[in-house]
Structure 1
Amino acid sequence: MEALESSILEWKAAVVLAWFALFFLAERWKPAARERPEPALTAGERPLGAWQRVGRNLSLWLANVGLAPLIVIPLTLWASTHALDWRPDWWSGLTGLIIDLIILDCLIYWWHRANHEVQFLWRFHEVHHLDRFLDTSTALRFHFGEVLLSAAARAGVILLLGIPFFSVIVFEILVLLCALFQHSNLKLGAKTEHLLSRVIITPSIHWVHHHAIRRDTDSNYGTIFSFWDRIFGSSSKTERWPDMPIGVERTEERRFLHLLMRPFRGRRGSPAAENRISS
């Protein structure tokens, strides 16, 4: 069993890295928007270039890589081996996998939404949104606190629903592949994007979620399927344009160490009142 799990995790890493490389190169070959240097935060400071931004995002990702074998994977394995055994026989095999994926995607929609509506969760999730431009590296940019909180929440779901470890890994792979795609700066044809958007989250949909306007940031919460936002009334009517401002209103990007410490600094008021302007 351990050998099988190790093999699955290795395949997961290989598939995700190949997908990342594909979109990282493709978005630079055919970009949808042109990135501009980030403005300096202090006097005498140089603007932050595109490669420095990517390096900062990858540094945040590397800070999380060590958490996977130490905490995230063991916690997921423990939850799957101690899960409640109540699932009927028909909820297994390929049918069970499809049901698990749909349920997990619905639950991650609500978890993502909670990260925007609950102040404590937003403190950590805000680090992801502070990126001033979107590309595939943004999909890997999360604060380690959010990674740990997400792992704990997912473990609870696995325990209650009895979700097999295999279903969790397949879902994680799909989430990562979709995240790299939807954060990418790859220019797609209008017809292609429209057709895809009826079923899955596309770059145009997710770029609006990163729009530095509160009403758009607090919308388009879907991860894989786009119909959850339509069902639960959280779709934005805003359409993406090439120079759409990305980030969080009234809050500037910070350097790596500032981003790591930001969630732990005392701040007053709700995330909406503190960081963004209602419009």
Structure 2
Amino acid sequence: MELTTESLLAWKSLIVAGWFAAFFVLERFFPAAPFPRPEGGRSLTGVPGTLLLSMGRVIRNLGLWVLNTGLAPLVVVPLSVWAAAHSLDWRPDWWSGAAGLALDLVLLDFLIYWWHRANHELPFLWRFHEVHHLDRFLDSSSALRFHFGEVLLSAMARAGVIILLGFPVSSILVFETLVLMATIFHHSNLRLPPRTERVLARLFITPSIHWVHHHARQRDTDSNYGTLFSFWDPLFASRSPTARDPVMPIGVEREDERPYASLLLRPFRLGTRKGARGR
């Protein structure tokens, strides 16, 4: 059966939805860190097997995701398809098939490492990316929390890469599926056996690595930029020596969480700048 762009998108949605649902439930039965107090309710610490959660932050995260989900078929997917149709035709014949897909995935992960790093180092990009980091706790819903402006900027950057390097749409969709699954995994609060996590971390980004990236201390926030593979950070001297602590403060140094409407408007306010964090 030939896989069309539409069928790949459908499979991507089903796989990611199932993956998210599994982590969302499992992390509440087997949390690595105690879940925060529900807004207006009692603490969840030490209550095994509960599905209670701080609904306010999860609703904010899902609200941002719903907005971005609406943008995907209207802007993100058409832009990627258009870029693939206008890409430079220079790729050799050997850069195809399974080997070509594997090379595409490594190269795309290399590029997304630098894009993520740019989102921290360039003040204009940080305005939008900060919304993701303002979350004061991490679980699988944090993986869906991105400002629509960052999604649009990422789509434009990806379109430029597709045009220059000639990535086929199939490689882009496979990579995006893996990125979403990896992002849900390494933002999750699922408690993993220490040995399993150590083995995985030799090649892949795990929660123990990425939670440090969300530590509310700037020198840790500006580190650990990897998405799929864990070797880019040691290679480019951006790996933090800090070890994950289940009770480490999460968020942005000297900044607080915002209501939903404020999160949407924050990047466009003149007072929003990375200088507030010491730059």
Please report the TM-score for the alignment, with normalisation by the length of structure 1.
0.93
Contact 1:250–1:277 (Cα < 8 Å) also in 2: no
- In the other structure, the counterpart of 2:46 is none
Question: In structure 1, what residue type is equivalent to 2:179?
Answer: V
| 1:134 aligned partner | 138
Cα deviation digits, residues 45-98 of structure 1 (max 9, x gap): x58971111111000100111100100000000001110000011111111101
Q: Is the contact made by 1:129 and 1:210 (CA closer than 8 Å) also made in structure 2? A: yes
Residue 225 in structure 1 maps to residue 229 in structure 2 = yes
1:29 is matched with 29
Is the counterpart of residue 258 in structure 1 residue 252 in structure 2?
no
Q: One-letter code of the match for 1:87?
A: R
**Percent identity (aligned):** 62
Structure 1 runs of 4+ with >6 Å offset: none
CA displacement at 1:267 relative to structure 2? 1.9
The question of whether the paired residues in 2 share the 8 Å contact of 1:199 and 1:226 is answered with yes
1:226 Cα shift? 0.3
- Aligned: 1:176 with 2:196: no
Shift in Å, 1:192: 0.7
CA distance in 2, matches of 1:67, 1:36: 31
User: 2:239 and 2:41 mapped to 1: Cα distance?
Assistant: 34
Which is worse superposed, 50-59 or 215-224?
Answer: 50-59
Structure 1 SS opposite 2:4? helix
Secondary structure of 1:109's aligned partner: helix
- Stretches of structure 2 that go unaligned for 5 or more consecutive residues are 43-52
Return the alpha-carbon distance in structure 2 between the equivalents of residues 5 and 89 of structure 1.
22
Counterparts in 2 of 1:16 and 1:73: CA distance versus 1, 3 Å: same
Aligned counterparts, 1:63-212, within 5 A: 63-212=67-216
Partner AA of 1:183 in structure 2 = H
2: CA distance between counterparts of 1:37 and 1:75? 41
Offset at residue 153 of structure 1 (A): 0.1
Query: Which residue number in structure 1 is paired with residue 7 of structure 2?
Result: 7
- The equivalent of 2:241 in structure 1 is 237
- For 2:208 and 2:236, the matched residues in 1 are separated by 19
CA distance in 1, matches of 2:7, 2:36: 41
Q: Secondary structure at the match of 1:66?
A: helix
2:218, 2:69 → 1: CA distance?
31
Matched residues, number: 269
Distance 1:71 1:174 in 2: 21
Structure 1 counterpart of 2:50: none
- Structure 2 distance, partners of 1:221, 1:47, is 35
Encode CA deviations 1:22-44: one digit per residue, 9 max, x unaligned: 100110010000122388xxxxx
- What is the alpha-carbon distance in structure 1 between the residues aligned to residue 37 and residue 219 of structure 2? 26
CA distance in 2, matches of 1:87, 1:164: 10
